[in-house]
């Protein structure tokens, strides 16, 4: 497994391997089973696999957890080696996001709701860095998890709008045995907070089970379930169109996406679930 620590090293690596199809899996490190399952999928699908590790300062707001975001490059490299990853691109912040940088990639509309409303500028940081990664690594495919559902939708829109020559592969995400969605931020939860955090997946799973096509009822149930969770402070709970992320109201026959964000102690967690299309006969 090769390690590229600068933009030049990564470009040089890609130049040498330019004839082979390359899959990129972009990460911010602190890797866990959720990441490994995507890396394994990329390994199966593609001749070459690149994983990028970069805690992207552009996607953190001034009051957010950039400083405390877990980082351990040596551990991440050790864990990636047995997965058959060909190259890890782990650029240094001074090289990758220099202070004189003037350009931002902005996807309009999709980015001003949900995560975008709570974290202004977050998606500009994501799309700017993902564009740079695509430009430097030049992957044929790029793997994104449905765990960050809005990010996936935003990146897909960006790739379509800019005709970027990358195919986005949507991947399922991994939950722990008790339902908690795997996230690097789970490392910051105390034992009690981790237990409390189960309210998120429990609320979503109840929403899936009771889904009858009524978006307002489903939203109200989510809010109620999360309000009942001790030590959980709801940021948003939304039932949205999976393509446009517009909030849905009333009866909706097509599939919908339930999305939530909540604080558990000082850790902000997000989770989501697909609410399937409802057969017309069952919609009252």
Residues labelled catalytic: 35
Measured from the CB of residue 142, what is the shortest distance to ligand PAF in angstroms? 9
27 vs 46 by CB, closer to ligand PAF: 27
How far is it, in rounded angstroms, from Cα 26 to Cα 14? 16
Contacting range for ligand PAF; rule: CB under 6 A; set: 23-31, 91-99, 216-224, 231-239 = 23-31
SS3 234: strand
Contacting range for ligand PAF; rule: CB under 6 A; set: 125-133, 216-224, 238-246, 256-264 = 125-133
Torsion of CA 87, 92, 94, 96, to 10 degrees: 30
How far is it, in rounded angstroms, from Cα 85 to Cα 6? 18
Q: Does 91 bind ligand PAF (CB under 6 A)?
A: no
Q: Does 130 bind ligand PAF (CB under 6 A)?
A: yes
Q: Does 28 bind ligand PAF (CB under 6 A)?
A: yes
Pairing label, strands 256-264, 232-240? antiparallel
57 vs 247 by CB, closer to ligand PAF: 57
Tokens of 99: 């202070």
Residue 161: count of CB within 10 angstroms of its CB: 11
Q: Which residues pair with 88 in a beta bridge?
A: 3, 51
56 vs 186 by CB, closer to ligand PAF: 56
Measured from the CB of residue 235, what is the shortest distance to ligand PAF in angstroms? 18
Q: Which of 30, 51, 59, 272 binds ligand PAF (CB under 6 A)?
A: 59
Tokens of 242: 């999976």
Q: Which of 49, 126, 200, 237 binds ligand PAF (CB under 6 A)?
A: 126
29 vs 229 by CB, closer to ligand PAF: 29
> Position of tokens 């970069």?
54
Report which of 137, 108, 135, 138 is spatially closest to residue 124, judged by C-alpha positions: 108
Q: Which of 4, 31, 56, 188 binds ligand PAF (CB under 6 A)?
A: 56
Q: How far is CA 4 from CA 57, 101, 175, 222, in A?
A: 19, 21, 31, 44
Contacting range for ligand PAF; rule: CB under 6 A; set: 2-10, 24-32, 62-70, 90-98 = 24-32
Q: How many helices (H) and strands (E) does the chain have?
A: 9, 9
52 vs 257 by CB, closer to ligand PAF: 52
Q: Does 129 bind ligand PAF (CB under 6 A)?
A: yes
92 vs 190 by CB, closer to ligand PAF: 92
The C-alpha angle with vertex 99 and arms to 93 and 103, in degrees rounded to 5, equals 100
Residue 223: count of CB within 10 angstroms of its CB: 16
Residue 203: count of CB within 10 angstroms of its CB: 26
Q: Does 267 bind ligand PAF (CB under 6 A)?
A: no
Q: Which of 45, 65, 140, 148 binds ligand PAF (CB under 6 A)?
A: 148
Would you tell me which residues interact with ligand PAF (CB under 6 A)?
A: 26-28, 56, 59, 126, 129-130, 148, 151
């Amino acid at each position: 497994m090769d390690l590229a620590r600068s933009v030049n090293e990564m470009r040089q690596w890609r130049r040498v391997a330019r004839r082979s199809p390359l899959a990129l899996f972009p990460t911010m490190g602190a890797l866990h089973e959720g990441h490994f399952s995507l890396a394994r999928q990329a390994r199966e699908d593609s001749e070459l696999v690149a994983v990028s590790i970069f805690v992207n300062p552009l996607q953190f707001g001034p009051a957010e957890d950039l400083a405390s975001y877990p980082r351990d490059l040596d551990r991440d490299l050790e864990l990636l080696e047995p997965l058959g990853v060909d190259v890890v691109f782990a650029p240094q912040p001074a090289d990758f996001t220099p202070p004189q940088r003037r350009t931002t990639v902005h996807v309009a509309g999709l980015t001003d709701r949900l995560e975008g409303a709570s974290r202004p500028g977050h998606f500009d940081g994501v799309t700017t860095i993902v564009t740079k990664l695509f430009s430097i690594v030049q992957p044929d495919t790029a793997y994104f998890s449905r765990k960050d559902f809005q990010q996936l939708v935003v990146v897909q829109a960006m790739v379509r709008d800019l005709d970027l020559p990358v195919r986005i592969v949507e991947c399922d995400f991994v939950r722990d045995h008790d339902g908690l969605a795997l996230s690097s931020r789970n490392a910051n939860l105390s034992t009690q907070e981790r237990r409390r955090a189960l309210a998120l997946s429990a609320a979503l799973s109840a929403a899936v089970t009771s889904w009858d096509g009524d978006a307002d009822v489903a939203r109200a149930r989510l809010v109620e379930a999360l309000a009942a969770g001790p030590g959980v402070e709801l940021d948003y709970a939304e039932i949205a169109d999976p393509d446009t992320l517009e909030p849905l109201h009333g009866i909706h026959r097509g599939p919908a996406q339930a999305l939530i964000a909540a604080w558990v102690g000082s850790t902000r967690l997000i989770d989501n679930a697909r609410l399937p299309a409802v057969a017309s006969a069952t919609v009252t």
